[in-house]
């Protein structure tokens, strides 16, 4: 019989670490990764037939839950017409029209096959547009695996102690200037020294890759002002926060307009996708109209476009985000009550359908504060939750993801599991 342990052993013989994306290997929490056989609504089932309430949501895309009938129908219909053309299809325009309608600064879109490619291409575009090489990023922010961005990165890179990857040439990494999120002075200092060299500031406006962090009032406003003053582009990486913390992403919540946005996850409804969006005058620097090269065999793939269109149409229904936010609030309040009851330094918060739980008495405001979490306690908590049938992202530095498929009963079951787990780790 196939078990998680037997499948993990088998996978490790042919896949590096048994996985195709590092954090899936459970090294940040220990134990055996669960091999998922099936997912529907708010649940995933492993190869042993055990059911989990899914707060991973494929790391963000599954905001309407797994296998939503409308998304499956759209994908099935599209698949009957062929899997990939390598020539234009109308669904690319239809999804781009929706994104342009939701994000006021986006006049042109370019689709890619991943968030990594979106962030990488946005970076190249900013460098091509400004004719400058240096970029500013923030310690603990993750933008995928492009070389220039794997410097003091978050997510799995952070969890495994390799925030700055080997294999990135020092000659390239020296163009990546690193600042501290929520610390405007750290960015001002970089601009004071390197202002004329900086092509862009790349930021997760509401980071989810050093767990969920929210911007302090004035921080993103300050970035906007500095970029404008120094002729650098402000790039919001909304791959995770876009269509997730609000329909119009973090930029809608904070009311700040970047020069370029990177998207992914939700806009592909679970299929591989990414996108760059921005004003025509910047975007049209890209091939075939301009000199910044960008392309992809599977970019704008019809199945991915169909899944994205179906997902966006579900979440742009009036009241979707209000309902999602209210229900996620109830979950977060229940988790915070459970922590108080157990007397554990633990807390949770959310923005829209993106949430964070922390082994800390108060939600953190900075990378340094996130690092103060009690990681051993998190590991024990993690496995107690998993054993109780609650699948959280397997790392203390990741956000977790709520969907419209999570029912009141799922929320209650999660709070009950957390109450027991927190008492046990107290
Ligand atoms: N940017 C952000 C903010 C992300 O959260 C991620 C993935 N978690 C990426 C970029 C990279 O996206 P992908 O994994 O699709 O390459």
The two tokens of residue 419 are 């109450």
Burial-class residue 322 by CB neighbours within 10 Å (0-12, 13-18, 19+): exposed
CB–CB of 205/105 below 8 Å? Answer: no
Of 46, 237, 259, 410, catalytic: 237
115 in contact with ligand 1, CB cutoff 6 A = yes
What per-residue confidence (pLDDT) applies to 280?
98
Residues in contact with 290: Cβ distance below 8 Å, sequence separation at least 6, in sequence order: 128, 284
Residues in contact with 79: Cβ distance below 8 Å, sequence separation at least 6, in sequence order: 303
Helix (H, G, I), strand (E, B) or coil at 238: coil
Q: Is 265 designated active site?
A: yes
Burial-class residue 396 by CB neighbours within 10 Å (0-12, 13-18, 19+): buried
353 in contact with ligand 1, CB cutoff 6 A = no
144 in contact with ligand 1, CB cutoff 6 A = yes
C-alpha–C-alpha distance, residues 83 and 85, integer Å: 7
What per-residue confidence (pLDDT) applies to 295?
97
For the stretch 331-340, pLDDT in tens is 999 999 999 9
CA 386 – ligand 1 centroid, Å = 24
User: How far apart, in Å, are the Cα atoms of 151 and each of 68, 97, 127?
Assistant: 37, 34, 17
What per-residue confidence (pLDDT) applies to 162?
78
What per-residue confidence (pLDDT) applies to 343?
97
Cβ neighbour number for residue 195 with a 10 Å cutoff = 16
The two tokens of residue 308 are 């994205």
Q: Is 181 designated active site?
A: no
What per-residue confidence (pLDDT) applies to 160?
78
143 in contact with ligand 1, CB cutoff 6 A = yes
C-alpha–C-alpha distance, residues 71 and 203, integer Å: 30
| Probe target for ligand 1 pocket from 209, 299, 356, with the most ligand atoms within 8 Å of CB | 209
What per-residue confidence (pLDDT) applies to 155?
85
Nearest to 331 by CA among 137, 53, 34, 87: 53
pLDDT of the chain along its 426 residues, tens only? 899 999 999 999 999 999 999 999 999 999 999 999 999 999 999 999 999 999 999 999 999 999 999 999 999 999 999 999 999 999 999 999 999 999 999 999 999 999 999 999 999 999 999 999 999 999 999 999 999 999 999 888 888 777 889 999 999 999 999 999 999 999 999 999 999 999 999 999 999 999 999 999 999 999 999 999 999 999 999 999 999 999 999 999 999 999 999 999 999 999 999 999 999 999 999 999 999 999 999 999 999 999 999 999 999 999 999 999 999 999 999 999 999 999 999 999 999 999 999 999 999 999 999 999 999 999 999 999 999 999 999 999 999 999 999 999 999 999 999 999 999 999
For the stretch 363-421, pLDDT in tens is 999 999 999 999 999 999 999 999 999 999 999 999 999 999 999 999 999 999 999 99
Atom of ligand 1 at shortest range from CA of 116: 16
Nearest to 304 by CA among 24, 115, 103, 54: 115
Buried b (16+ CB within 10 A) or exposed e, 125-155: bbbbbbebebbbbbbbbbbbbbebbbbbbbb
Cβ neighbour number for residue 10 with a 10 Å cutoff = 13
CA 421 – ligand 1 centroid, Å = 30
CA 255 – ligand 1 centroid, Å = 23
What per-residue confidence (pLDDT) applies to 1?
85
Is 0.90 topped by the overall pTM? yes
Q: Is 374 designated active site?
A: no
C-alpha–C-alpha distance, residues 254 and 22, integer Å: 32
What per-residue confidence (pLDDT) applies to 325?
98
> Which residue's CA is the closest to the ligand 1 atom numbered 12?
115
Give all domains of the chain, ordered by start, each with its CATH number.
4-67+320-425 (3.90.1150.10), 69-315 (3.40.640.10)
Computed over its alpha carbons, how large is the radius of gyration of the chain? 21
């Amino acid at each position: 019989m196939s078990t998680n342990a037997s499948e993990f052993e088998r996978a490790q013989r042919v896949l590096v670490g048994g996985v195709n994306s590092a954090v899936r290997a459970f090294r940040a929490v220990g134990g055996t990764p669960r091999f998922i056989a099936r997912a529907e609504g708010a649940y995933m089932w492993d190869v042993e037939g055990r059911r989990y309430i899914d707060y991973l949501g494929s790391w963000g895309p599954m905001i309407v839950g797994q296998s939503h009938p409308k998304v499956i129908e759209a994908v099935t219909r599209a698949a009957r017409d062929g899997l990939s053309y390598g020539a234009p299809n109308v669904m690319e325009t239809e999804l781009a029209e929706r994104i342009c309608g939701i994000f006021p600064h986006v006049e042109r879109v370019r689709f890619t096959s991943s968030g990594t490619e979106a962030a990488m291409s946005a970076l190249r575009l900013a460098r091509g547009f400004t004719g400058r090489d240096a970029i500013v990023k923030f310690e603990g922010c993750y933008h995928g695996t492009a070389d220039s961005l794997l410097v003091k990165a978050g997510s799995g890179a952070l969890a495994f102690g390799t925030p700055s990857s080997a294999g990135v040439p020092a000659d390239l990494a020296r163009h990546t200037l690193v600042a501290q999120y929520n610390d405007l002075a750290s960015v001002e200092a970089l601009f004071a020294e390197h202002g004329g060299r900086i092509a862009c500031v790349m930021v997760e406006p509401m980071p989810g890759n050093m767990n969920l962090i929210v911007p302090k009032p004035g921080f993103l406003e300050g970035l906007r002002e500095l970029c404008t003053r120094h002729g650098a582009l402000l790039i919001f990486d909304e791959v995770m926060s876009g269509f997730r913390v609000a329909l119009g992403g973090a930029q809608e919540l904070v009311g700040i307009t970047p020069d370029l946005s990177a998207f992914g996850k939700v806009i592909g409804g679970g299929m591989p996708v990414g996108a760059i969006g921005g004003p025509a005058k910047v975007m049209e620097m890209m091939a075939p109209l301009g000199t910044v090269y960008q392309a992809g065999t599977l970019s704008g793939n019809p199945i991915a476009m169909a899944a994205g269109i179906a997902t966006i149409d579900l979440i742009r229904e009036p009241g979707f985000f209000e309902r999602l936010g209210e229900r996620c609030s109830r979950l977060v309040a229940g988790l915070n009550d459970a922590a108080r009851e157990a007397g554990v330094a633990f807390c949770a918060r959310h923005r829209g359908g993106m949430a964070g739980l922390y082994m800390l008495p108060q939600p953190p405001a900075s990378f340094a504060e996130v690092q103060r979490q009690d990681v051993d306690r998190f590991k024990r908590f993690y496995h107690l939750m998993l054993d109780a049938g609650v699948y959280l992202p397997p790392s203390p530095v990741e956000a977790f993801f709520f969907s419209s498929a999570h029912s009141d009963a799922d929320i209650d079951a999660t709070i009950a599991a957390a109450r027991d787990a927190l008492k046990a780790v107290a």
